[in-house]
């Protein structure tokens, strides 16, 4: 009979294999794998930590493995490599006994590649176990060919992401916070909840979040149980995501009868906040999501809000262009690189490349321009990305402001968010002089959400 601890490691390993072999997302796959394996609460926590810890630190562990194996990781069988990554994570970043980490990882390698793979894995992991974590950081730092590559290896980020983060921080005069940001990206995010306005209250034993007026963190208990009990009126939602929706709804007083549109709504967390806010203010909300599967998630997210929100499934550009001068408020939560959510989706850092950015920024510009055209005079659009990359944030907004000229004015998102917050979010001016608000994991304990507000004159 397989022990539960071994089962937890196998769940982690099989999740890693699916992530690397099938482009699966750990946050979607792992809960199902844990349930199917019947893991206890403690072993489910172990499987979760092993999976996410290994994915977050994959770049660092690959550098360690390359030195210990004396060969590039590209030359190692992928299934064996995942067993090695899991073993190195346990050796360097957990309190798991070395013999257990080595032996069980060797068995995973044996299952993947037979006796030869097991012998190879045993030799590599025993080499890793002979040095301390600090020694290994010294080894891999010495192997770097540049300062940026050294940061990338030590903090497990691709070099292009390191450089993009540095530029985004420098735009606020805070380039010296780069290592703090990279460190925060490798930490497990705290679970944050949202109580939909006028539909749910914050539990008595919860702690309110410092910035979002609808956010809180639980003192204990199962978040999913609370979500179910509330019928979806209490939700798990990053505080930055809450603020992105609230920045739009509270930028200006709501006039009864306003029409709102969530143009890129999937998976629906922000849509639910908009719907609750629309209900309170007497506005109506429509949503759009091009992906049928994600449109289904939007409908599920809206189930707890007692208002009718039609959800269309069109290209957002077409959806907006077909409704000129129609809406009072539009949220454009644009498709992006997702570099702001690497704590939650650590595998994303290895899936994106600089070559992805130009096509995304073109799509973002087209969506935002179409949304501006769909605004009534006086209407407001919130342009949101879960990325701090300057090309996707300030660059896109600057292009749209040039395109529309005097027909657009900016509302300071920084001022709006500061007015919503109990604590001062400390949002510094941007180098481009805009009112864009940039949230950060290391500074705000949120995803790195960028929020801009533009008003059609």
**So which residues are the catalytic ones?**
386
Buried b (16+ CB within 10 A) or exposed e, 204-219: eebeebebbbbbbbbe
Place of tokens 């907004």: 397
Backbone angles phi, psi at 268, to 5 degrees: 115, 0
Q: Which residues contact 332 (CB under 8 A, 6 or more apart)?
A: 263, 264, 316, 367, 368, 371, 381, 382, 383, 384
Closest by alpha carbon to 438, among 395, 401, 389?
Answer: 389
Cα-only R_g, the chain: 23
The H-or-E segment that residue 34 falls in is: helix 26-37
Distance from C-alpha of 367 to C-alpha of 361, rounded to nearest angstrom:
10
Take residue 455 and report the two structure tokens written for it: 């008003």
Are residues 298 and 265 in contact, defined by beta-carbon separation less than 8 angstroms? yes
Q: Are 371 and 381 in contact (CB under 8 A)?
A: yes
Paired residues of 194 in beta bridges: 215, 235
| Residue found under tokens 């069988």 | 77
Buried b (16+ CB within 10 A) or exposed e, 6-28: ebbbbbbbbbbbbbbeeebebee
Distance of CA 180 to the CA centre of its chain: 17
What CA–CA distances, in Å, run from 362 to 171, 316, 357?
Answer: 22, 13, 9
Rounded CA separation 364/396 (Å): 7
Q: Give me 398's structure tokens.
A: 């600057």
- To 10 degrees, what angle do helices 239-249 and 413-420 make? 110
What's phi and psi for 312, nearest 5 deg?
-90, 165
Work out the end-to-end distance of the chain between its first and last CA atoms, rounded to an integer number of angstroms: 70
Decide if 304 contacts 232 (C-beta within 8 A).
yes
CA 216 to CA 66: how far, in whole Å?
43
**Burial of residue 298 (number of CB atoms within 10 Å: 0-12, 13-18, 19+):** buried
């Amino acid at each position: 009979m397989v022990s539960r601890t071994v089962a937890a490691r196998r769940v982690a390993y099989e999740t890693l294999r699916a992530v690397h072999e099938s482009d699966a997302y750990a946050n979607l796959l792992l809960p199902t794998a844990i349930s199917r394996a019947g893991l206890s609460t403690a072993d489910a926590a172990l499987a979760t930590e092993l999976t996410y810890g290994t994915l977050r630190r994959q770049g660092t562990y690959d550098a360690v493995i390359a030195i210990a194996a004396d060969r590039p990781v590209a030359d190692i069988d992928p299934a064996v490599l995942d067993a090695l990554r899991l073993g190195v994570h346990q050796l360097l970043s957990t309190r798991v006994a070395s013999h257990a980490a080595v032996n069980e990882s060797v068995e995973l390698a044996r299952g993947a590649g037979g006796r030869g793979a097991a012998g190879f894995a045993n030799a590599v992991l025993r080499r890793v176990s002979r040095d301390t974590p600090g020694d290994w950081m010294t080894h891999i730092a010495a192997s770097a060919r540049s300062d940026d590559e050294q940061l990338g290896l030590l903090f497990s980020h691709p070099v292009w992401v390191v450089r993009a983060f540095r530029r985004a921080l420098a735009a606020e005069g805070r380039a010296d916070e780069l290592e703090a940001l990279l460190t925060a990206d490798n930490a497990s995010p705290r679970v944050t909840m949202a109580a939909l306005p006028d539909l749910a209250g914050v539990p008595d034993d919860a702690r309110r979040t410092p910035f979002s007026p609808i956010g809180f963190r639980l003192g204990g208990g199962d978040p999913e149980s609370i979500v179910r009990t509330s019928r979806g009126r209490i939700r798990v939602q990053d505080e930055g995501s809450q603020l992105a929706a609230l920045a739009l709804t509270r930028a200006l007083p709501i006039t009864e009868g306003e029409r709102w549109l969530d143009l890129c709504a999937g998976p629906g967390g922000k849509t639910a906040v908009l719907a609750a806010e629309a209900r309170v203010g007497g506005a109506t909300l429509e949503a759009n999501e091009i992906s049928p599967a994600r449109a289904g998630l939007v409908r599920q997210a809206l189930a707890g809000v007692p208002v009718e929100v039609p959800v269309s499934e069109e290209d957002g550009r077409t959806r907006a262009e077909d409704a000129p001068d129609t809406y009072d408020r539009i949220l454009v939560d644009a498709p992006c690189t997702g570099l702001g959510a690497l704590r939650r989706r650590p595998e994303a850092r290895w899936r994106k490349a600089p070559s992805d950015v130009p096509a995304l920024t073109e799509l973002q510009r087209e969506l935002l321009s179409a949304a501006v055209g769909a605004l009534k005079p006086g209407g407001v659009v919130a342009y949101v990305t879960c990325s701090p990359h300057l090309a996707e944030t300030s660059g896109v907004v600057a292009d749209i402001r040039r395109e529309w000229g005097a027909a657009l004015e900016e509302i300071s998102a920084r001022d709006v968010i500061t007015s919503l917050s109990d604590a001062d979010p400390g949002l510094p001016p941007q180098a481009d002089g805009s009112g864009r608000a940039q949230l950060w994991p290391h500074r705000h304990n949120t995803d790195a959400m960028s929020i801009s507000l533009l008003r059609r004159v």
